[in-house]
Amino acid sequence: MEELRKKHIGVLMGGWSREREISLLSGKMVWQALKRKGLNATMIDVKKDSLGSLNSNQIEAAFIALHGEGGEDGRMQALLEVLGIPYTGSGVLASALSLNKAYSKMIFQVSSIRTPDYCLIGKDENSRRAEKKVLEKVGIPLVLKPTTEGSSIGVKFIRSEQSLRENLGNHQREFGNLIAERLKDGMCATVGILGCIKKTRALPVLELVPEGEFYDYKAKYTEGMTEFIIPARLKDAVYEETQELALQSHHALGCHGFSRVDMVIEKNEVPFVLEVNSIPGMMQLSDLPAEAKHEGMDYDDLIIEILKSAFVERPV
């Protein structure tokens, strides 16, 4: 801890993705935690035209609280590598793979990690041909998702062929590349991963019970819209398998320090991995802090453990 107090830490927040406002809130909470711990920390609102401020602020370590494009996709990590600034969380490749749902699912499949069936839809692909492909490879019901958005932005549940026809083209125009994923009915769950190398561990399984159809943007960031149940109401064997699958997913993508693995437990018996978030939200209502708290770790100590990941060599 004394070594950390000698460092000037920049909390990178904001960015230019659709999750900018969430990042600003997360970043402010992280900064407040670092200050409470007596560390020299500065909030840095990252914008495309002000990346030079990383040098001008003369930071010696970066706590990345950015989400989405530019912050969570490997680009900021690459810039920090070039500048020689240690940073929290996953490296360049793991960040890029995690944010891109298509790449993630390819890795899950070759790693024998259970994930729902899916197919890719290119941004310029003819929507009628894409519709036929989706029906053949995935079937109804399904979920349409942008390949590189977080916070459930752009997620659309499709329960009929007519709905697919009405939404597919619009989604391509708005979000570009998409994946169509088989909809699995079951428990919505998430598992935080914390630690580095041999100390990497799965946090308690969090069961999410949203008021609406699913755990969407509003349910994630509006108090009272989602019930958190920790530990999740699962049989012991299923609970353990869920944690193990989460750990496997984290390692398969090469993640480091911390992540959050989103899952669905079909019929409360069979866990499926949906995606890995390499920089999960760190707000008061966020999943990872709630899971750490159930394990006995308060928010400030969680932030310090994540910060320490900046100074541990990442997996190759």
Confidence band of 155 (pLDDT split at 50, 70, 90): confident
The answer to whether residue 98 is catalytic is no
pTM score: 0.91
The response to whether 275 counts as a known ligand-binding position is yes
Predicted pLDDT at 200: 97
Amino acid letter for position 33: A
Claim to verify: residue 212 and residue 298 sit in the same structural domain: yes
Average pLDDT over residues 284-313: 93
Tens-digit pLDDT profile for residues 193-241: 999 998 999 999 999 987 766 555 554 555 667 789 999 999 999 999 9
252, pLDDT greater than 70: yes
Predicted pLDDT at 35: 97
293, pLDDT greater than 80: yes
**29 within a domain of the structure (yes/no):** yes
**316 within a domain of the structure (yes/no):** no
Average pLDDT over residues 51-55: 67
**Domains: count for the chain:** 3
Tell me the pLDDT of the chain averaged across its residues. 90
Average pLDDT over residues 269-295: 92
Q: Which domain, by its residues, includes 167?
A: 118-182
| 17, 23, 249, 286: the active-site residue | 286
- CATH number of the domain within which 64 lies: 3.40.50.20
Claim to verify: residue 66 and residue 203 sit in the same structural domain: no
Average pLDDT over residues 306-316: 90
**227 within a domain of the structure (yes/no):** yes
Claim to verify: residue 27 and residue 138 sit in the same structural domain: no
Predicted pLDDT at 218: 54
Claim to verify: residue 122 and residue 216 sit in the same structural domain: no
> In the chain, what percentage of residues exceed pLDDT 70?
92
Tens-digit pLDDT profile for residues 117-133: 999 999 888 888 988 99
Domain-terminating residue out of 136, 160, 182: 182
| 23, 151, 249, 259: the active-site residue | 151
Claim to verify: residue 57 and residue 140 sit in the same structural domain: no
Predicted pLDDT at 56: 64
Claim to verify: residue 152 and residue 254 sit in the same structural domain: no
250, pLDDT greater than 90: yes
Which of 279, 299, 312 minimizes the C-alpha distance to 37? 299
Predicted pLDDT at 222: 55
Predicted pLDDT at 127: 84
Cα dihedral 284/289/294/295 (nearest 10)? -150
**How far, in Å, CA of 246 to CA of 276, rounded?**
8
| 19, 131, 207, 305: the active-site residue | 19
Tens-digit pLDDT profile for residues 78-120: 999 999 999 999 999 999 999 999 999 999 999 999 999 999 9
The answer to whether residue 111 is catalytic is no
**How far, in Å, CA of 16 to CA of 71, rounded?**
9
Residue 184 tokens, joined: 């699995």
Predicted pLDDT at 27: 96
The answer to whether residue 19 is catalytic is yes
Claim to verify: residue 224 and residue 282 sit in the same structural domain: yes
* Cβ proximity of 26 and 39 under 8 Å: no
